[in-house]
Amino acid sequence: MKKAGFLCIVAAVLLSSCVGVGSRLTIHQDGSGTLALTYRVSQLVVNLGNPVDGKGVIPLPLTKADFERSVASSQGMVRLTSFDRSEDQKDVTIRVELAFDSLEALAKLDAFQSAQIRLSSDGGGHSFSQLIAKAPREPITEDSLRMVDAFFGDYDLAFTIEVPQPVKTNTLGTLSQDRRVLTYKTSVKDLVRTKSDVVLSMSW
């Protein structure tokens, strides 16, 4: 498979272009909150450039300095509270924690714009949505799918969202016993086979 074609398969389907993501988003009553994020990026992907503009294919920052530059644009509404990076022969792993005054401020950061994070309020109720992955513009061939399975078959994605009141409705995931914590888990193998956009939404 050519380099450009391989990148299109990974980057077009996975919003983050990372191949392993774990996040816990906590939203408080006033709209502020925290985000604890861990992403595991294959060394194979880290060093590849976008075939269109030559830039890296990973929109999420890979260094502390990158994160500090990103949150600086929020003018103090989003703050980096913790950062750790480790790597081995297979992966680069980033663990980061952010505090935000509003989800809107977090969503405006370059690293999260593609996720289309939305929080709205109406008559005392709240609605949240996040784009997990976009469907590919063109069907992915079986050969390409086998290539993704071979390289990224053991990478999973997990999204946990904690809200201040019991969840009334949700499109994806499972709820905790008190209905305040929603968890959605999937895999790279499943996402690359999606035929439509994968959107996580919930209301409380």
Which of 162, 132, 124 minimizes the C-alpha distance to 32? 162
What percent of the chain has pLDDT above 70? 85
The CA dihedral of 156, 162, 163, 166, to the nearest 10 degrees, is 90
The model's pLDDT over 55-108, given as tens digits with 9 standing for 90+, comes to 555 667 888 999 999 999 999 999 999 999 999 998 899 999 999 999 999 999
Going by C-alpha positions, the residue among 196, 200, 176, 175 that lies closest to residue 186 is 200
What is the average pLDDT value for the chain, to the nearest integer? 85
Residues 6 or more apart in contact with residue 82 via CB below 8 angstroms: 95, 96, 97
What gap in Å lies between CA 14 and CA 124, rounded to an integer?
A: 34
Contact 106, 25 (CB under 8 A): no
How much is the pLDDT for 11? 53
Rounded to whole angstroms, the Cα distance separating 201 from 37 reads 19
The token pair that represents 170 in the structure block: 């949700």
Looking at the structure of the chain, the number of domains it has is 1
As a whole number, mean pLDDT of residues 24-49 equals 87
Q: What is the pLDDT of residue 56?
A: 54
Which regions of 50-189 does DSSP assign to beta strands (E)? 78-87, 91-100, 118-122, 125-133, 156-162, 169-170, 174-175, 181-187
What is residue 1's predicted lDDT score, i.e. its pLDDT?
44
pLDDT score at 128: 97
Whole-structure pTM value: 0.84
Provide mean pLDDT across the span 3-15.
50
Give Rg (Cα) of the chain.
17
- The stretch 128-156 carries a mean pLDDT of 83
Pick 2 or 74 by higher pLDDT.
74
Q: Which domain range does residue 67 map to? A: 3-203
pLDDT given for residue 97 in this prediction: 97
What mean pLDDT comes out for the span 135-153?
80
Handedness of CA 141, 146, 151, 153 (dihedral sign): positive
CA distance 191 to 70: 27
Percent of the chain residues topping a pLDDT of 90? 54
